[in-house]
A and B are shown apart, each in its own frame.
Chain A
Amino acid sequence: MRKTSGWGLGVLKALYAGISGLGRQTVDGVWRIGFATRFFFAILLHSGTAMSRFGLTIREIYFSGVLSLIIIVVSGLFVGMVLGLQGYETLQTYGSEEALGILVALSLVRELGPVVAALLFASRAGSAITAEIGLMKATEQLTAMEMMAVDPIARVVAPRFWAGVISMPLLAAMFSAVGIFGGYLVGVVLIGVDQGSFWSQMQAAVDFNQDIMNGIIKSMVFGVAVTAIALFEGYDAPPTAEGVSGATTRTVVTSSLAILALDFMLTAFMFRGVK
Chain B
Amino acid sequence: MIHDALVQIENVSFGYSARPVLKGIDLIAKRGQVVAIMGSSGCGKTTLLRLIGGELRPDQGTVRVADEVVSELDQAGLYRLRRKMGMLFQFGALFTDMSVFDNVAFQLREHTDLPEDIIRDLVLMKLNAVGLRGAAYLMPSELSGGMARRVALARAIALDPMLIMYDEPFAGLDPISLGVTGNLIRRLTDTLGLTSLVVTHDVQESLKIVDYVYFVSEGVVEAQGTAAEIRSSGLPYVHQFVHGEPDGPVPFHYPAQAYAEDLRLGVGSA
Residues of A with Cβ closer than 8 Å to B? 135-136, 139-141, 143-151, 155
Contacts and interface: CB of A to CB of B under 8 A. Distances in A.
Interface in B58-107: 78-80, 82-83, 85, 87, 89-91, 93-96, 106-107
Nearest to B158: A148
Nearest to B161: A148
B53 interface: yes
B87 A149 contact: no
Given A149-B111, A155-B110, A144 B80 contact: no
B55 interface: yes
A148 B107 contact: yes
A145 B95 CA distance: 9
A144 B87 contact: yes
Interface residues of B, number: 20
A149 B55 CA distance: 11
A149 B89 contact: no
Given A139-B91, A139-B93, A140-B90, 18 more contacts: A136-B95, A140-B89, A140-B93, A143-B93, A144-B93, A144-B95, A146-B82, A147-B53, A147-B55, A147-B82, A148-B107, A149-B78, A149-B82, A149-B83, A149-B107, A149-B110, A150-B107, A151-B79
Contacts of A139: 91, 93, 96
Contact of B110 (A136, A144, A147, A150): A150
B93 A148 contact: no
B82 A143 contact: no
A144 B50 CA distance: 11
Nearest to B167: A140
Contact of B96 (A141, A143, A145, A150): A141
List the 7 closest A-B pairs by CB distance, nearest first.
A149-B79, A144-B93, A140-B93, A149-B82, A147-B87, A140-B89, A149-B83
Interface string B189-202: 00000000000000
A136 B94 CA distance: 9
A144 B89 contact: yes
A53 to B, nearest CB: 10
A139 B95 CA distance: 9
Contacts of B79: 149, 151
A139 B94 CA distance: 8
B139 to A, nearest CB: 14
A63 B89 CA distance: 28
27 contacts: A136-B95, A136-B96, A139-B93, A139-B96, A140-B90, A140-B93, A141-B93, A141-B94, A141-B96, A143-B55, A143-B93, A144-B87, A144-B93, A144-B95, A145-B95, A147-B55, A147-B85, A148-B82, A148-B106, A148-B110, A149-B78, A149-B80, A149-B82, A149-B83, A150-B106, A150-B110, A150-B111
A146 B87 CA distance: 10
Contacts of A145: 95
A190 B120 CA distance: 60
A143 B110 contact: no
Contacts of B91: 139-140
Interface in B188-218: none
Contacts of B110: 148-150, 155
Nearest to A148: B107
A146 B111 contact: no
Contacts of B82: 146-149
A150 B111 CA distance: 9
Contacts of B94: 141
A148 B82 CA distance: 6
Contacts of B111: 149-150
A139 B89 CA distance: 9
A9 B252 CA distance: 39
A48 to B, nearest CB: 14
Nearest to A150: B110
Of A135, A136, A141, most B-chain CB atoms within 10 Å = A141
Contacts of A151: 79
Contacts of A140: 89-91, 93
A136 to B, nearest CB: 8
A72 B198 CA distance: 51
Contacts of B53: 147
A238 to B, nearest CB: 15
A213 B246 CA distance: 72
A52 to B, nearest CB: 13
A172 B85 CA distance: 46
Nearest to B80: A149
Nearest to B106: A148
A139 B148 CA distance: 13
Contacts of A148: 82, 106-107, 110
Contacts of B87: 144, 147
Nearest to A135: B96
Nearest to B95: A141
Nearest to A49: B110
B89 A143 contact: yes
